[in-house]
A and B are shown apart, each in its own frame.
Chain A
Amino acid sequence: MGRYVIRRLLQMIPVFIGTTFIIFAMVHALGDPVAAFFGDKAPDPAAAAQIRQQLGLDNPLIVQYGNYMKGIFSGNLGTAFNGQPVTDLLKIAYPTTLKLALVAFTFEVIIGIGLGVLSGMRRGRLADTGVMMMTLIVISIPTFVIGYVLQYLFGVKWGLADATVPPGAPFQSLLLPGIVLASVSLAYVARLTRTTIAENSKADYVRTAVAKGLPRRRVVTHHLLRNSLIPVITFLGTDLGALMGGALVTERIFNIHGVGYYLYQGIVHQDTSTVVGFVTVLVIVFLLANLLVDLLYAVLDPRIRYA
């Protein structure tokens, strides 16, 4: 197990170098960021050259990348164009997004799995049809539509929640954005759980457990659910990464200054250090989430062993 984890962690190094380089090259390919400093006005060539030199933008791409990587290993992720160190921006942005992602993740797990179990156990009945219909509707509506509609109804019309998230992002104001962010994945989780529950409820081990005379509650939680959760966990694991990256739309709608906000600003200003820094951390989150999922398999299914 320990060796497996170490191997996986070592595998992350080339992925890390590869992604940072690709992102670096892509932002670079967008063109000269200095032009955007000057607004609608043509840049003054002398000042533009000066800015380029100060930011190291006059070096060839590979040298810029080399300098950037050198900085990373000494814990310096570079400076954003407005003079703030990228590490500072990360410190502000990631906790906020993480908070939002956790709220959304909680909704996803509790409501998603709950609805899935409910409809899986009562297949073909009213509850099942209702859940299936609801999830289908949620899946087919784009997130931003759900976002704006809920924001208007709860935030503006009824005044039940904050229309936008105030600075500091307190938990109670993240409930609404959390539901919006979780909505689509929640629907998938519910459908996935329903299918596996429905399938496994006819399995031999469930019949055995029932025949043993175990209480129904125990059969469902310990036997049926534990086995049915494996595909759901895979989905949830990858989704945790997607939640952090996918918060972009939700963050915009509710004016949350998290990863999405800084990433967007970085792309608009072609601020390489900001974009690469934020994406790199996102990549690491994805990799770690995947590793976690793989390890969880072993916990859920003792037949799976890692060496």
Chain B
Amino acid sequence: MRGATQAKFAAGAIAIALAATACSTSSSSGSSSGSNANGVVTAWWGDPQNPLIPTDTNEVNGGAVLNMIFEGLQHYNPKTGVAELANAQSITTTDQQHFTITLKSGWKFSDGTPVTASSYVDAWNWGAYLPHAQNNTDPFFTSIQGYDAVHPATGSPTATTMSGLKVVNDTTFTVALTQKFSLWPDTLGYSAFYPLPQSFFKNPTAWEAHPVGNGPYLIKSWTKGTGMSLTPSSTYSGNYKPKNGGIDLKVYTDPNAAYADLQAGNLDIDNGLSTTALKTVQSDLNGRYLNEPAGINQTISFPLNQPQWNTAGAKLVREGLSMAIDRPTITKVIFQNTRTPATDWTSPVLGAEGGFSSTLCGDVCTYNPTKAKQLIQQGGGIPGGQLTISYNADGPHKEWVDAVCNSINNALGNTNACVGKPIGTFAQFRNQIQNKQMTSAFRTGWQMDYPLIQDFLQPLFYTNAASNDSHYSNPQFDSLVNQANAASTKATAVSDFQNAEKLLVTDLPSIPLWYQNGTVGWSSNVSNVSLDVFSVPVYTNITVNK
């Protein structure tokens, strides 16, 4: 569900005062007037890019619906982000590599058919099978034994199912991974791991037009490009039963149009607030606004595949550049205090226990123009004489890239040291990164798939990992990650990952900039609005005022 690409998350800052006001408003209005259990909530939405198949959806809009119509083996607690057993009764292992998953009995899809072990195994096999061309399988299924046979890097698949998945009986199945992965059970709350009903396998096209799941809501009607109506599902057996009478999702192209509707009372939930709206949202909505940290960070990456960036001197230059960026001022002026300067490569949503650190990056991420200039000179100056920071021009990036460059230029006393380099569209931008055409710095953003420190490090910095855009490779880092994955307790795994993360402070394949927040504004018709750790509204908890 990486979606930090465009203005999908118009972010906010950790403003405890704001959050506190918002809470008091919602609780007081909620208790005084009571709620209407049949009331329908209208909410902001964008048109999903791909069909709503769990293994084919990796952006926020499709993800929001999938989370409403499905419930997986695990459910991430909306407050803490900790994975809690949902459809799974237990997930056990003795060696961190072979897992036995037992399902709770009696769970049903909204079409009345039972959720069985095969619902999971078949769905995962279907998604991983190469000819189905699903775009959200890596890295979720890659760790399962037999993935290479159904999804080879080149050529045709030699099998239709993964050998690592075995159905034992209706409520039990076993999973064998290719290597040890201690935190693997905690990844199972992610949408790619959702089960699929029999009707899907019989006719995927018909199912796509009217998706059926096992979650708290079911889809009542869906007009592509316009909106979707969801009502509570009577067959849902989980802990997150809806407290409202349904959700009406309305597609908006322009965030300002949604905000106008919110103010006019035609929209209840707006989690697509634009930067323009954020300037006045506090007074416009009388405090009906929430601003919480999300599992999204923004970084500037360097092409370490280019020889000029892969020297000892370039390392010092990167350190100098990091120190030349005045993060507090930029987050305040450009983002209206709606982003928080980064202190590591993860996100505050993990909590200290999950591996977040407010000190890990230390001096390297602290503004120090004098030291910055010194380090860059010591490292032989910026490779090529000028730093360009590439970004996709179809996203809201120009302002902050210019500000970052300005900060670097001021520190170096050279107005030409750094310039922003817009690239037309996001697709073009991705192509250049993927084809190793980048010769200087470029923007990168990461939205977590699951609240685990592993997800912030392994896919981004492990040698040849799927999203290793800077082409960073350090055997020591790789071996620490392997060690963490083999750890028998979560605490050891987290501390091993943190040790690996410490290597990034000296190697600096990317410079942490700031953490992004999720924001949501709501109308006076609704109460109990909150955001989960993915900064998606907790739709099931929203109540409609009487």
Binding site for B on A (CB under 8 A): 30-33, 35-48, 50-51, 54, 81-84, 89, 92, 148, 151-152, 155-156, 159, 162-164, 166-167, 251-255, 257, 261-262, 264-265, 267-270
Contact = CB atoms under 8 A, between A and B. Distances in A.
A270 B430 CA distance: 13
B185 to A, nearest CB: 22
A92 B251 CA distance: 15
A164 B266 contact: yes
Nearest to B251: A257
Interface in B188-231: 205, 208, 223-227
A148 B263 CA distance: 13
A252 B47 contact: no
Contact of A39 (B3, B153, B154): B3
A46 B2 CA distance: 20
B428 interface: yes
Nearest to A88: B224
B394 interface: yes
B5 A40 contact: yes
B5 A253 contact: no
B130 A39 contact: no
A51 B56 CA distance: 12
Contact of A163 (B1, B131, B266, B466): B266
A30 B59 CA distance: 21
Contact of A270 (B48, B58, B425, B433): B425
Nearest to A32: B431
Nearest to B132: A50
A109 B424 CA distance: 38
Contacts of A167: 223, 226-227
A152 B51 CA distance: 35
A51 B447 contact: no
Given A155-B264, A156-B264, A41 B466 contact: yes
Nearest to A168: B226
A264 B263 CA distance: 25
Interface residues of B, number: 61
Nearest to B5: A40
B303 to A, nearest CB: 13
26 contacts: A31-B425, A31-B427, A32-B427, A35-B434, A36-B426, A40-B467, A41-B459, A42-B434, A44-B138, A45-B153, A46-B152, A47-B133, A47-B138, A51-B133, A83-B51, A83-B205, A92-B225, A155-B260, A156-B264, A163-B263, A163-B266, A164-B252, A167-B226, A252-B257, A255-B253, A261-B225
Interface in B402-452: 424-428, 430-431, 433-434, 444-447
A254 B225 contact: no
Contact of A47 (B4, B5, B137, B263): B137
A89 B266 CA distance: 26
Given A44-B138, A164-B266, A268-B394, A39 B434 contact: no
B111 interface: no
Contact of B466 (A42, A156, A159): A42
B151 interface: yes
A164 B227 contact: no
A46 B252 CA distance: 33
Contact of B266 (A40, A148, A162, A251): A162
Interface string B482-506: 0000000000000000000000000
Given A156-B264, A255-B253, A41 B467 contact: yes
A208 B130 CA distance: 83
Given A39-B2, A155-B260, A82 B430 contact: no
B50 interface: yes
A270 B426 CA distance: 10
Interface string B236-249: 00000000000000
B244 to A, nearest CB: 21
Contacts, number: 156
B427 A151 contact: no
Contacts of A152: 260
B135 interface: yes
Nearest to B3: A39
A135 to B, nearest CB: 27
A33 B426 CA distance: 9
A43 B135 contact: yes
B260 A46 contact: no
B254 interface: yes
A46 to B, nearest CB: 5
Given A37-B49, A40-B467, A151 B133 contact: no
A303 B481 CA distance: 86
Q: Which of B130, B252, B260, B467 has the most CB of A within 10 A?
A: B260
Given A40-B4, A46-B151, A51 B425 contact: no
B174 interface: no
A148 B205 CA distance: 40
Interface in B382-399: 394
B469 interface: yes
B261 interface: yes
A30 B430 CA distance: 12
A253 B258 CA distance: 9
Given A40-B4, A40-B467, A47 B427 contact: no
Given A40-B446, A92-B225, A155-B260, A265 B252 contact: no
Interface in B104-130: 130
Q: Which of A41, A82, A255, A262 has the most CB of B within 10 A?
A: A41
A164 B256 CA distance: 10
Contacts of A45: 153
Q: Which of B1, B253, B263 has the most CB of A within 10 A?
A: B253
Contacts of B424: 30
B47 A265 contact: yes
A219 to B, nearest CB: 48
Contact of A252 (B5, B133, B253): B253
A183 B257 CA distance: 20
Contacts of A253: 254, 256-257
A251 B251 CA distance: 13
B225 A89 contact: yes
A40 to B, nearest CB: 4
B5 to A, nearest CB: 6
Contacts of B459: 41
B160 interface: no
B134 interface: yes
A159 B264 contact: yes
B261 A164 contact: yes
Given A40-B3, A164-B266, A255-B253, 11 more contacts: A31-B427, A31-B431, A39-B2, A43-B135, A47-B135, A47-B137, A50-B133, A156-B263, A159-B264, A255-B257, A269-B427
List of 9 A-B pairs having minimum Cβ-Cβ separation, nearest first: A40-B2, A36-B427, A50-B133, A163-B264, A35-B430, A255-B257, A39-B2, A31-B428, A163-B260
Contact of A50 (B50, B130, B263): B130
